[in-house]
Amino acid sequence: MMKKVLITFILLLITLNGFANTINNIVVVDAYARETAKGQDVGAVYISLKNKGNKTVKFIGASTPIANTAQIHSMKMNNNISSMKHEQFLEVPANGELKLLPGESHIMLMGLKSPLIKGQTFPLNLHFEGLQDLKIEVPIKSINVDEMKDMKM
């Protein structure tokens, strides 16, 4: 019985590793994009990056074949209006985590070549300073329309 549990556990670990997107000590814990409304040519990707190494890593941007550009944006509140700022990089702290969360930061996709449809995925290349790209598939989830409407550059 113990043996079976152990084997199951090992198999589970292998499976999890198979799905984890890891390169150079960087692990993508969670990534998703919001589906886009009709006629909308911008989108947002939210992501959590874990750094398993003991050196800070600079996340410097992303690219995808489905959009003309992808930029790292942070959001700030000013008089109840949220505005976005293009960041040249964000740091993934050593043995820490960088989270791009709704209302805080995101990877902005600009010039979308096709709408983002719930249930589909698209490829995204994550760029890190001095390191190899990390290629992931981003699942598309349904939107909270209000949040997107409030976005202003």
Provide DSSP, the chain.
-HHHHHHHHHHHHHHHHHHSEEETTEEEEEEEEEPPPTT--EEEEEEEEEE-SSS-EEEEEEE-TTEEEEEEEEEEEETTEEEEEEES-EEE-TTSEEEE-TTTEEEEEEEESS---TT-EEEEEEEETTEEEEEEEEEEE---HHHHHT-B-
Q: Which is nearer to Cu ion, 27 or 84 (CB)?
A: 84
Q: Which stretch binds Cu ion (CB under 5 A): 20-28, 30-38, 82-90, 95-103?
A: 82-90
Among 84, 110, 112, 148, binds Cu ion (CB under 5 A): 84
Residue 108 sits in the site that holds Cu ion (CB under 5 A): yes
What is the nearest approach in angstroms of Cu ion to the Cβ of residue 110? 8
Q: Closest approach of Cβ 102 to Cu ion, in Å?
A: 11
Residue range at the interface with Cu ion (CB under 5 A); choices 18-26, 78-86, 87-95, 114-122 = 78-86
Q: Does 33 bind Cu ion (CB under 5 A)?
A: no
Q: Is 72 in the site for Cu ion (CB under 5 A)?
A: no
| Choice from 49, 51, 64, 73 touching Cu ion (CB under 5 A) | 73
Which residue, chain included where needed, has tokens 């740091």? 91
Q: Are 44 and 144 in contact (CB under 8 A)?
A: no
Is residue 112 within the footprint of Cu ion (CB under 5 A)?
A: no
Distance CA 68, CA 112 (A): 7
Residues 130-149: x/- map of binding to Cu ion (CB under 5 A)? --------------------
Residues in the site for Cu ion, rule: CB under 5 A?
Answer: 73, 84, 108
